[in-house]
Amino acid sequence: MTETEALVIGAGPTGLFQVFQLGLLGIHAQVLDALPQAGGQVTQLYPDKLIYDIPAVPACTGRELVDRLLQQVQPFQPTWHFGHAVSTLAQQADGRWLVGTTQGFECLARSVFIAAGVGAFEPRRLKVPGIEAHEGLQVFHHRQQPARFAGQRLVIVGGDELALEQAIACALAHNMSLPVTLLHRRRAFQAPAELVAQFDALCDQGALRFVAGQVTSLIEADGRLAGVQILNAEGQHEPLLLDALQVMLGLSPKLGPLADWGLALERKQVLVDPATCATSLPGIYAVGDINHYPGKKRLILCGFHEATLAAHAAAELLHPERAGALQYTSSSTLLQQRLGVASAPPKP
C-alpha cells in the first residue's frame, strides 16, 4: 500500500504533462501504466513518425516528444509504476480512492487523473499453447530495444509498419552479422512503400530474411524455447529455429475495468466538465483521448490544455488554503524554485 496526493493513470504525453502541471502546483504524483515504459500509444504506434502540431516545435518524432516531456517532469521526481494494469477503484470512508492493479499493487490517492488514451493498450498475443512460460525470457509481446537480441537468432512475427521497422532496426543493430527473420502469413505488408523497399534491400544483402507462414506450435528443449513449428505457404509444417521471438501483431485499446467504476460514459469515453475535466466521481479527473465533452478534439495539444485545467481544479480541492492569483513560470520565484531554476527562496 502506498499513499499519494495524486495518482496519474497513463504515462502517455497527456499523462506526463499532467505530472508536470501538478508539480508546478506543488503536488507530487505517482504514475501507473500498463506498458513497460513511458510514452503510451505515441511510442508504441508511431515512435519514429514526425509530429508537426506541437506548439513551438516545428517537427519531432513521437519518441523525441516523450523524451522531452520526461525531461520536463524530472524536477518533480514522480514515482513510476510501469507494467501495472489498473483493475479496481473504490472510494474510502475518508473520501480517498483506493486503486488496485492486476499485479497486486495498491495506492490510496486523494485525487486520480485518468490519462489512459483510448484505453489501456494491450498487445495482440500469439495464441499458442505454452507460450506464457517463455514470456519475458525469450518471447516478447512489447517492442524491445534491438540490443536485447544481439547475437541471437531473432524471429519477428508481424507484417505491419511497426514490425518492419523493428526488423530493420534489429538487422542494422546486429551489423548484418546475424540475419533477422520476419515471419508473416504472406509477403504483403501494411507499410509505406519506402519502408518495404528498405526491407527488401536488407533481404538482398542477407541482413534480413522473410519466411511466409503462421506459427502453429512451439518447439521446446530442456525447458527453453528452441523454435516454432509453422504452417508455410505451401500448407506444410516446418520448424523454424530461434533464440528469441518478438511478437508484433499490433495493439488493441481496451477500456477494461474502467467501464465498471461507475463513471458517466458516452461511447466508451468518460464524460467530464470541460471547465475542470472533473468526472462524475469526486476527486477523479479524465484528460486526453479518454474523455468527452461538447467540441472535444482528439489532439495531443488538447490533452495538454485539459491536464492544465485538471491540475488547477485538483489543487483547489487538495489545498484550498493556497488559492490565489495565477502564477507564471516566467516571473514566479516559487514556480522557478519548484523547477530547480531559481536559487532564491520563494516569496511568502
- Per-residue pLDDT of the chain in tens (348 residues, 90 and over written 9): 899 999 999 999 999 999 999 999 999 999 999 888 899 888 877 788 899 999 999 999 999 999 999 999 999 999 999 989 888 999 999 999 999 998 899 999 999 999 987 655 667 889 999 999 999 999 999 888 898 998 899 999 999 988 999 999 999 986 656 789 999 999 999 888 999 999 999 999 999 999 999 999 999 999 999 999 999 999 999 999 999 999 999 876 666 678 788 899 988 899 999 999 999 999 999 999 999 999 999 999 999 999 999 999 999 999 999 888 899 999 999 999 999 997 655 555
* Grid coordinates belonging to 178: 546475424
Closest CA to 35 of 253, 249, 246, 245: 253
Please state the pTM of the whole predicted model: 0.70
Ramachandran angles phi, psi of 324, nearest 5° = -175, -160
Q: Given this model, what pLDDT does residue 23 score? A: 97
Domains in the chain and their CATH numbers?
A: 2-121+252-339 (3.50.50.60), 125-249 (3.50.50.60)
Q: Given this model, what pLDDT does residue 118 score? A: 66
How many other C-beta atoms are found inside a 10 Å radius of the C-beta of residue 334?
16
Euclidean distance between CA atoms 242 and 54, whole angstroms: 42
